[in-house]
Chain A
Amino acid sequence: MLRATRWASVLRQPIRPRLGRFHPGARSLTGGSRIDQKQAAAEATPASAPSSEEKARRRVHFPGARNSYFTDQMDFISGLDEAIPTYQVMDNEGKVADPSQDPNLSQETAVKIYRNMVTLNLMDVIMYEAQRQGRISFYMTTYGEESTVGSAEALDPQDVIFGQYREAGVLLHRGYTLRDFMAQCYSNRHDSGKGRQMPVHYGSRELNFHTISSPLATQIPQAAGAAYALKRAGRPHCVMCYFGDGAASEGDFHAALNFAATLKCPVIFFCRNNGFAISTPVEEQYKGDGIGYGVHSIRVDGNDVWAVYNATKQARELATQQHVPVLIEAMTYRVGHHSTSDDSSAYRSKKEVEDWKHKDNPITRLRKYLEARDWWNEQQEADLRTEMRKQLLAAFAAAEKEKKPALSELFTDVYDKSPQHLQEQERELHELIKRYPEYYPVDDLADK
């Protein structure tokens, strides 16, 4: 965070220890005793805050911190004194406290966002079950983090997206079809990734969504580089890069924010701080106040789709017009298991999860907002759920029946052109299949 500013505010303002909000990523805020001491010190010696003239006079000459000034006060800065507030537009009841913050999207757009959030939720239910039944090998749900859809609405379709793996809502909102999702999870012949990657590793050239990969945080410096390319090409677009609070501990996060800031890249870093990296709670992930790095930063209520939308929209303005990186930390809670290979009750209580589901949920919140405007009702809800379930199950059944990609796709795309040794290895595999057909069934593969 902007340390100098925050430090100055500590000196100037009386500080009241605040209780952490309920978002787990930002709950351990202030230790009382240390704050009280500092508060007492600040109040007792108000003159310790130097005047701007004095600051200018005593400015340091070291090149590494040109805006610093000398002080004779020895104070260690912890960065933990005052937590970053969490921006919220509508509360748990879907009520907007400050009407000036309501994005006032059209009924059509608001309902489209809602429909996509619900569809995402329904797809998760079906695909999660499909994995439990062994029909697909792996899956990761987005439960509780559906409001990323709001960030997608705030972007231009030509903005370039890099994700981690829990951003299916963004793809859905951009136009990735149910058939596309199912094809990828089933690795069938319609998968644009040609069946090579694990389920939920989506990607779409057409939708400007770079293909997901498993290594965490690798996409973050890549997003900075892509943003630099957009800027050089003179395109009025930005890059949006999503990642989780755990991924932000990787060295690549450090690399990316530093590169984006020094090279002035139009990129939005969108951290989904959902409280857990698999089993590791945020208390074991970082000691600071959430995710931050000396760039334009904001913390938003990640269960509030309008807060997410507004912040993303404003971030986009900053990124594309000032060519600066912007960091959004969306506070939320991972309601689902980490993945189908994880049983989260091994490290957190079922009650905690249930409480989250019912007390604070991005979908219910938006529904209440829509209902308050008479834009949505029980009947529409029932119709949507019936209709989407039907469509999802149809897409699911169709995907399951499709053949897998042709065997030749095992060897293509390693390079732009297949080198000689790969051609030889492909021939070797074909001879093997001819010799041992019973060990290499090819019936479920497409011919080409």
Chain B
Amino acid sequence: MASATSGGNPDGIKPGVAHSQLLCTTTEAALKNPELAAVASSDTKRMNLYQAVNEALATALSTDETAVVFGEDVAFGGVFRCTMGLAQQFGKSRVFNTPLCEQGIAGFGIGMAAEGHTAIAEIQFADYIFPAFDQLVNEAAKYRYRSGGQFDCGGLTVRTPCSAVGHGGHYHSQTPEAYFAHTPGLKVVMPRSPIQAKGLLLASIRDRNPVIFLEPKVLYRAAVEQVPVDDYELPLEKAEILKEGKDVTLVGWGSQIYALENAIQIAEKRMPGISCELIDLRSILPWDVDTVAASVHKTGRLVVAHEAPQTGGFAAEIISKVTERCFLRMESPPQRVCGWDTPFPLVFERFYMPTMIRCYEGIRRAMEY
């Protein structure tokens, strides 16, 4: 985590995912989640996020004969190890490398899905999804609508590693959810942890709409949980309240959740008596307006944080919608804590990021207005 930077930390917070209280490190904690009621008697296994993705892919391949996994370098296991062992287990015709061409990967996946198969495509970094933008926005998203429902490519899921990683510079750090959030017909999903990754990915693969599944790559190894080994799905279009509170609502997704968790620790230390409500949005499109609005209706204050640049970022959509819904309940202007409106910089990463201290500053402004 870029928030886990060296230097001053006078509040004594142990920052980052490594010290997170949000991860379920015991079987009991994992299975306590009411969303996992269906697998409450499952065994669990200690996994990091890439292993959870791998398990979801293996489950999808073994439960759906039409499912295939493809992309650049997936056959040997993938550059992030997400597809390890799948080619050996399921055969080269189901887990295979493609030529190095993102528009081809997306178009090929759309074609397979349009013939009723389940196509799980990988784009090696979210930064390289833009060559496929035309196929995803003009084709995948509109396939059902434009044919009057005669054809669809609902079996398509595009997985891609996203977000900051500490040293990714311009093209190994981007979080492009807002570009896709402007596209009716697509679903956009981002998990925060291994349990979430497995359940949300399986739901995305089985959902009958094209889904862009963004995987925060900084969590691939860093986030570890006890993950149920049974087959389970977590709901799309549904946010999750991770911590209840009464004074301010914090909304984030992906690895940003951990910066917000740390910001809450600072806030509750520096401003004794306040309590923050933390919401993981999980699905960016369509997003769970009801859960967020109900929270702000209760707290009267809103802070939204994301790594992507501020202008045109998805925080703008959330704040606009919540303001429409909760105008009379708002006690301070909504705050957004985002990446600056610059390309993602290499050496300045810690100054660019919406770190825990910037998120805390957002909370302070919301509280002290």
| A and B part of one assembly | yes
Residues in chain A within 8 A of chain B (CB atoms): 160, 162, 191-194, 196-197, 201, 203-205, 210-211, 213, 215, 218, 220-230, 232-233, 239, 251-252, 254-256, 258-259, 262-263, 409, 412-416, 419-421
Contact: A221 with B107, CB < 8 Å? yes
Question: B245: which A residues are within 8 A, CB to CB?
Answer: none
Contact: B112 with A414, CB < 8 Å? no
Contact: A252 with B116, CB < 8 Å? no
Q: Across the two chains, which residue of chain A brings its CB closest to B139? A: A218
**A239–B107 CA distance with the chains assembled, in angstroms:** 14
Report if B149 contacts A (CB, 8 A).
Answer: yes
**A215–B289 CA distance with the chains assembled, in angstroms:** 33
With A196-B148, A263-B98 already in contact, the answer to whether A225 and B108 are too (CB < 8 A) is yes
Report if B73 contacts A (CB, 8 A).
Answer: no
**A262–B75 CA distance with the chains assembled, in angstroms:** 14
Residue contacts A-B, CB under 8 angstroms, 7 given: A160-B115, A196-B148, A197-B146, A215-B134, A221-B103, A221-B135, A255-B107
Report if B144 contacts A (CB, 8 A).
Answer: yes
Report if B110 contacts A (CB, 8 A).
Answer: yes
**A263–B75 CA distance with the chains assembled, in angstroms:** 13
With A229-B111, A416-B144, A419-B237 already in contact, the answer to whether A211 and B151 are too (CB < 8 A) is yes
**A255–B132 CA distance with the chains assembled, in angstroms:** 11
**A229–B116 CA distance with the chains assembled, in angstroms:** 8
Contact: B134 with A218, CB < 8 Å? yes
Residues in chain B within 8 A of chain A (CB atoms): 66, 68, 93, 96, 98-99, 101, 103-104, 106-117, 119, 131, 134-135, 138-139, 142-152, 154, 184-185, 187, 208-209, 237, 286, 289-290
Contact: A255 with B104, CB < 8 Å? yes
Question: A256: which B residues are within 8 A, CB to CB?
Answer: 104, 107
Contact: B99 with A259, CB < 8 Å? yes
Contact: A201 with B103, CB < 8 Å? no
**A255–B208 CA distance with the chains assembled, in angstroms:** 26
Contact: B117 with A218, CB < 8 Å? no
What's the nearest-Cβ distance from chain A to residue B151, in Å?
6
Contact: B147 with A222, CB < 8 Å? no
Contact: B145 with A196, CB < 8 Å? yes
**A220–B147 CA distance with the chains assembled, in angstroms:** 18
With A225-B119, A419-B286 already in contact, the answer to whether A232 and B93 are too (CB < 8 A) is yes
**A192–B112 CA distance with the chains assembled, in angstroms:** 22
Question: B119: which A residues are within 8 A, CB to CB?
Answer: 225
What's the nearest-Cβ distance from chain A to residue B306, in Å?
20
The 9 lowest CB-CB distance pairs between A and B, nearest first, are A225-B111, A221-B107, A255-B104, A222-B111, A211-B147, A225-B108, A194-B148, A226-B111, A229-B115
**A232–B114 CA distance with the chains assembled, in angstroms:** 14
Q: Across the two chains, which residue of chain A brings its CB closest to B70? A: A263
What's the nearest-Cβ distance from chain B to residue A406, in Å?
12
Q: Among B104, B107, B131, B146, point to the contact of A211 (Cβ < 8 A).
A: B146
